[in-house]
Structure 1
Amino acid sequence: MEFMQADREACDRLLPGLRERLLELPLSELESADSPALALFREYGGTQLLIPADRGGLGASALDAVRVVRVLGGLAPSMSVATAMHHFSIGMLYSIADLYGKDTEIEPILERVSGEKLLVASGFAEGRSNQGILSPNTVARPVPGGYVVDGAKKPCSLSRSMGLLTTSVAVPRADGTNEMGLLLLPADTPGISVHPFWSTFPLAGAESNEVRLTDIFVEPTKILRPPPGLTAQLSELEEAGTIWFQMIVTAVYTGMVSRLAALVLERGRGAATDRARLLMAVDSAAMLAEGIARRVMSGDTGNDCAAAALVTRFSVREVLTQALDLAVELLGGMSYIQSTDVAYLTAAVHAIAFHPPSRTSMTDALLDYYAGKPLVMA
């Protein structure tokens, strides 16, 4: 089997035509702030990848998903990083819909997401210290007839291309405490605004700007509240969300280094032993993500798998950093000088360290986990 053959076959089977279309465009165009990649992702059905088949989607397995994402990560890194948040949001939304039941406000919106191939941005608090994924990042103030919602998310990927923004919201109770609610806001909702935030060139096409929510009026029925007695299920939902996000992001960055490794193989650069060492390293990173995918497919989405998903991303980062250095060395100085692609991918790959939660922030939690305690991600 050729290098990445299974990945390409999965991509072409589920999203026919997208890989070839991306290959027609230079990386510099795909990675620009005005990149056409997200529009192409929608056009070729990428938004449907993880939507269940009985809801109008492609219903891809976790294994197929990581293979598709690995291919796309090498072809259009910004698009792939940004749509990792879409895939995460899709997984959370449909899981939440299963918890809440079908007789809620969420169902018509999910039908729009599938039917119109909407990109879904996430306003969840996955980037804040000492907060769980679903911890509210916005606040609802009671007013006559409903609530007024204010808040902000920065960076928020897909800020300009999103069709729907999902966010958790703190809803005040009569006793002065807050309960969590869920909001699904169409991107054209009055009061949603996008502001510049991303100031560096790597991954500029991910549209990671600031999204502000200002004085948005919401009727009480539009805020989904947790059904009574489902606290444990929401905790499990956070664990499942963590697993999916870490798994997808790991595959994205593995794809970036895979592109450089494929160039080394294609050009026959360096000694055979070095080429083999590079390909084995990159494939081992891919296999680690696939291992998490297989656990997901077996129904293992609990605390142990969440820990494994985090350890996978942290470990893959080390593997990819070393593989990246070797790939750049083998490609040689002229390749680095004559094309910006090598330098760009080198810069972009290092962003794997910045996705939440960071390795340093999880040190104590992982040590406690290895001492026999449950992994606590908040």
Structure 2
Amino acid sequence: MTVTVDAGTGAATELDPEVFDDVLASVRAFVRGKVVPLEEVIDAEDRMPEEIVVAAREMGLYGFTIPQQYGGLGVSVSQEVRLVTELGWTTPALRSLFGTNNGIAGQVLIRAGTSAQRADWLPRLASGALASFALTEEGAGSDPSGMTTRAVRTEQGWRIDGAKRFITNAPSADVFMVFAQVDVDGTDRITVFLVPADVPGITVGPRDSKMGQKGAASAEVFLDGVLVGHDAVVGGEEALGSGYRTALTSLAHGRIHIAALCVGMMERLLVEAGDQAAQRVQGGRPIGEHQLIAGLLADMQTDLAAGRALVAEAARAWDAGEDRSMLPSAAKYFCSEAVGRCADRAVQIFGGSGYMRGVAVERMYRDARLFRIYEGTSQIQQVILGRHVVAEARERLTRAGGAR
């Protein structure tokens, strides 16, 4: 059994490979046998059937990245991307059920929480309680420095006031990771608070009506005089002002996760488009034998192969502690753009029928569009990657004695 250890928690972060292979096979069978047949119902009704929710909980999908000591599966990032790729075969609403537990919200506690906070909440998340990541605001999305939600110290703890938007799973969340500005030695600095959903003063708005990803719930969250204890500061009060760094780390992990999801969707799109190209006849022969259609399929195949390799390398480098910034951004940027290209090509191969509701590639075309926005827009990834290139160049020139 190969085990790696997380430097922050000391917890095992890799599941026994044989056990993981069994988990992966079970997830694949579940996705393709149980969820895929319900895709049209999920899209039409904008809800996930309860039997799917129950099954996902029983399979341990609500806590596959949570360390085993807290009741999770404790997969490594390299294992996580393989599992998430399988989830990408079907509607993203499935992954959204438990994605924030394993991703941006759960990672806040795993990497930045106190031992008491982890012991209290991680077992709950692993067993099916829902966590939401409450960072985005009307004027603070890709750039959180414009955040207006504020926490003020009181005798009892902290009072939080503000509003968040586009918060995944907010309508059914059990706990929110709330990011707020705090006065730290005269300077506003972002801090994370662990806020149970049943605390007085929290109001969740109506479910957002979205272009795609039907069945995945998001909504605004309003905090009006929400009072939490001193122990609600994630990481303890010595961590005041460290919320920006915590957000960046959680988002970087989430970028690899989303990139893997895009790879899974590209795999499905290629199969759908390939089947159509092999079966549909025009001019007396299957359309896949026409060079221009073959070119579309070739581009899809190439995007998929490149995305799969990039995600695998990003996950390997993360597990090895070699790169937890540049490669996650590169993987998310490339794969989220690539899945959009693949969805567009798939609709083109289907022709008029690809524009009709009830056809998988039409739904996937709408679903894919969001990947270029959340966990940092494509433009934010470009900024991160560009800065990385310039920083490396400056370092190289300095070493060579030729800095300008």
Shorter-chain TM-score: which interval? 0.7 to 0.9
Does residue 1:212 correspond to 2:222, yes or no? yes
Cα distance in 2 between the residues matched to 1:109 and 1:281: 39
8 A Cα contact 2:66 2:72, kept in partner: yes
8 A Cα contact 1:198 1:204, kept in partner: no
Question: 1:89 corresponds to which residue?
Answer: 105
Does residue 1:110 correspond to 2:110, yes or no? no
Cα distance in 1 between the residues matched to 2:220 and 2:168: 9
Q: Which amino acid aligns with 1:85?
A: T
Corresponding pairs, count: 357
Summarize deviations over 1:285-307 as a string: whole Å, max 9, x none: 22222221111121224xxx412
Give the 3 Å change call, closer, same or farther, for CA 160–245 of structure 1 in structure 2: same
Match of 1:309 among 322, 328, 336: 328
8 A Cα contact 1:158 1:208, kept in partner: yes
Cα distance in 1 between the residues matched to 2:332 and 2:207: 26
Cα distance in 2 between the residues matched to 1:19 and 1:189: 39
- Specify every segment of 5 or more residues in structure 1 that has no aligned partner in the other structure, as ranges: 1-6
Segments of 4+ moved more than 6 angstroms: 233-236
Give the 3 Å change call, closer, same or farther, for CA 137–82 of structure 1 in structure 2: farther
Does residue 1:27 correspond to 2:40, yes or no? yes
More contact order relative to length (CA 8 Å, sep ≥ 6): 1
Does residue 1:49 correspond to 2:71, yes or no? no
8 A Cα contact 1:121 1:166, kept in partner: yes
Does residue 1:271 correspond to 2:288, yes or no? yes
- Structure 1 residue 366: deviation in Å? 3.6
8 A Cα contact 2:72 2:123, kept in partner: no
TM-score (norm 2): 0.76
Cα distance in 1 between the residues matched to 2:47 and 2:244: 38
- Structure 1 residue 346: deviation in Å? 0.9
8 A Cα contact 1:123 1:166, kept in partner: yes
Q: Which structure has the larger Rg?
A: 2
Cα distance in 1 between the residues matched to 2:327 and 2:53: 30
Question: 1:243 corresponds to which residue?
Answer: 252
Cα distance in 2 between the residues matched to 1:24 and 1:168: 38
Give the 3 Å change call, closer, same or farther, for CA 255–15 of structure 1 in structure 2: closer
Q: Which amino acid aligns with 1:156?
A: I
Does residue 1:161 correspond to 2:169, yes or no? no
Question: 1:3 corresponds to which residue?
Answer: none
Question: 1:287 corresponds to which residue?
Answer: 309
Cα distance in 2 between the residues matched to 1:46 and 1:33: 21
3-state SS of 2:257 partner: helix
Cα distance in 1 between the residues matched to 2:300 and 2:270: 7
Summarize deviations over 1:196-218 as a string: whole Å, max 9, x none: 26233412322111111222222
Give the 3 Å change call, closer, same or farther, for CA 297–160 of structure 1 in structure 2: same
3-state SS of 2:87 partner: helix
- Structure 1 residue 30: deviation in Å? 5.2
3-state SS of 1:147 partner: strand
8 A Cα contact 2:329 2:384, kept in partner: no
Cα distance in 2 between the residues matched to 1:222 and 1:45: 27
8 A Cα contact 1:71 1:255, kept in partner: yes
3-state SS of 1:34 partner: coil
Cα distance in 2 between the residues matched to 1:179 and 1:225: 15
Give the 3 Å change call, closer, same or farther, for CA 332–236 of structure 1 in structure 2: same
- Structure 1 residue 266: deviation in Å? 4.0
Give the 3 Å change call, closer, same or farther, for CA 248–27 of structure 1 in structure 2: farther
Cα distance in 2 between the residues matched to 1:31 and 1:166: 31
Give the 3 Å change call, closer, same or farther, for CA 16–322 of structure 1 in structure 2: closer
Give the 3 Å change call, closer, same or farther, for CA 335–163 of structure 1 in structure 2: same
Question: 1:322 corresponds to which residue?
Answer: 341
Question: 2:352 corresponds to which residue?
Answer: 333
Question: 2:77 corresponds to which residue?
Answer: 62
Question: 2:201 corresponds to which residue?
Answer: 191
Question: 2:322 corresponds to which residue?
Answer: 300
Please, what is the CA RMSD of the aligned residues? 3.4
Give the 3 Å change call, closer, same or farther, for CA 370–235 of structure 1 in structure 2: same
Q: Which amino acid aligns with 1:71?
A: E
Give the 3 Å change call, closer, same or farther, for CA 10–332 of structure 1 in structure 2: farther
3-state SS of 1:60 partner: coil
Question: 2:374 corresponds to which residue?
Answer: 355
8 A Cα contact 2:162 2:223, kept in partner: yes
- Structure 1 residue 91: deviation in Å? 1.9
